[in-house]
A and B are shown apart, each in its own frame.
Chain A
């Protein structure tokens, strides 16, 4: 009889033995940059056909995009800022939350679990609204007034689901390690805390990186939700540019296509890298 198998391992598909879920030797088509450029070109082509029907007096879609590009890209940078900050905050909160789910104390474990499940199973937009309207616009800390502008609240709103997902990644990675590692450490008289920090977590870093990057890529794409609560990020600016250009229907596809392209160019390499890391770690283990 072996006593080493800990109960449930993980419900994160990325942490399951890859061989179990992904049949081997399936070659995913490799998207290259030119695929994206071709896509964008097609969008422009269709829109210029649409443009040709509206008359020659108006600027072409390409000219419009070029004209507004600095503004739009600044908006995109703001999306990236939101994504990086919420990922950082979410990770800082999520790692301890995940560790609490592994605590020896039953109550702490149960609370951390409930907390995680609550934020993991809430729609992100609802959490965003929740943060926007329930977090005060300023905060008094020992006589100093710390202002909470809208974008900070948005970061908090996005950090909540990130926190819950990171907590699950940490818990899943720790539980996916063979129980023998714990037994060996215990038999050498390491304390639980030493075992976690010196033996378990260093081995988990590798396992946690791909799903963590996955969450990052998803949160980046989700930052456009902030447009709904009136933050001047790329999508908001795109709509404003469209209005400024008189709301021409032929500009819809090129303008929003440009936004799509920006996110694609940023997120797709992250996903490629994630897949590569997953593959490498799997081969190694």
Chain B
């Protein structure tokens, strides 16, 4: 396989199919994500968005098709999952911080034990990341002592500590109180502006419009249509997209 170079798509999905038992969740999904691009996936619940994003870092194995991440074939039994996951960070709807560790330890754990990096350097980076997500004073706080928005920002910092090339965001604001949604979105926007490649599953249409380079609308396991946010959100071509947007906007 030729080595991946930054001018090629960072992520390339080709005809990805996935079934849970009888139920086919993804029925042939294809798209490309270029380096530095921000794409948003929107669509009704149960349309396969979360599964799609989980396939990209091999949390969910796919049945057929191909997913290339920086030239690494994800749908390969011999895949080095750990190598893949070092390139790909992920943030979850339920934050999933480790409740027995404080914010700083949450951030430091993976670089220390997975990447085996030097403790002093990792700690300095963790403090810098906390500052970046505006939680300087919360290094010693345990997840249970933080608000949802704060936990989610720690989770973002935890992912970034691995220095990923690609970030996946799975409905990261869906479980948050409305007043804390904004602080998380600000953090993601800054990341996007710094050139991080991001794939977001989101219900925040306004946010998708603002930061996405490209929006994909999925329903029943296929990409119904896609395009630049202004085009897709304002002038959807498909009836299904229109019906969905009318419901959520």
- Taking Cβ atoms with an 8 Å cutoff, the residues of A that contact B are 1-4, 178, 180-181, 183-191, 194, 198-199, 202-203, 284
Contacts and interface: CB of A to CB of B under 8 A. Distances in A.
9 contacts: A1-B45, A178-B96, A180-B96, A183-B96, A184-B97, A186-B81, A187-B89, A194-B114, A198-B113
B110 interface: yes
Interface residue SS majority, chain A: helix
A1 B98 CA distance: 23
Interface stretch (B47-55, B67-75, B226-234): B47-55
A188 B60 contact: no
B82 interface: yes
Interface in B71-110: 81-82, 85-86, 88-90, 92, 94, 96-100, 109-110
B102 to A, nearest CB: 13
Given A183-B59, A203-B99, A188 B158 contact: yes
B167 to A, nearest CB: 11
Nearest to B89: A187
Contact of A202 (B25, B50, B85, B100): B100
Nearest to A188: B110
Contact of A191 (B45, B54, B82, B162): B82
Given A1-B25, A3-B50, A194-B113, A187 B90 contact: yes
Contacts of A190: 110, 113-114
Interface residues of B, number: 34
Given A1-B50, A1-B51, A198-B109, A189 B114 contact: yes
Interface of B: 20, 25, 45-46, 48, 50-51, 54, 57, 59-60, 81-82, 85-86, 88-90, 92, 94, 96-100, 109-110, 113-114, 144, 155, 158-159, 162
A4 to B, nearest CB: 8
B98 A186 contact: no
Contacts of B94: 4, 178, 180
B99 to A, nearest CB: 7
B114 A181 contact: no
B92 A188 contact: no
Nearest to B168: A187
A3 B57 CA distance: 14
Contacts of B88: 187
B25 A189 contact: no
Nearest to B99: A203
B59 A186 contact: yes
Contacts of A198: 109, 113
Contacts of B114: 188-190, 194
Given A2-B50, A178-B96, A284-B144, 16 more contacts: A1-B45, A3-B50, A4-B94, A181-B96, A181-B98, A184-B90, A184-B98, A185-B98, A186-B85, A187-B89, A187-B159, A188-B110, A189-B85, A189-B114, A189-B162, A203-B99
Contacts of A2: 50
A199 to B, nearest CB: 6
A178 to B, nearest CB: 7
Contacts of A185: 98
Contacts, number: 71
Contacts of A188: 85, 109-110, 114, 158-159, 162
Contacts of A181: 96, 98
Q: Which 8 A-B pairs have the closest CB atoms?
A: A184-B96, A189-B85, A180-B96, A187-B90, A188-B110, A189-B82, A189-B114, A180-B94
Contact of B51 (A3, A187, A202): A3
Contacts of B20: 1, 3
B46 A183 contact: no
A2 B96 CA distance: 14
A199 B98 contact: yes
A161 to B, nearest CB: 30
Contacts of A184: 90, 92, 96-98, 155
A284 B110 CA distance: 26
Nearest to A191: B82
Nearest to A187: B90
Nearest to B82: A189
A190 B97 CA distance: 14
A218 to B, nearest CB: 29
B82 A187 contact: no
A107 B92 CA distance: 33
B75 to A, nearest CB: 17
Contacts of B96: 178, 180-181, 183-184
A193 to B, nearest CB: 11
Nearest to B98: A199
Contact of A203 (B45, B48, B100): B100
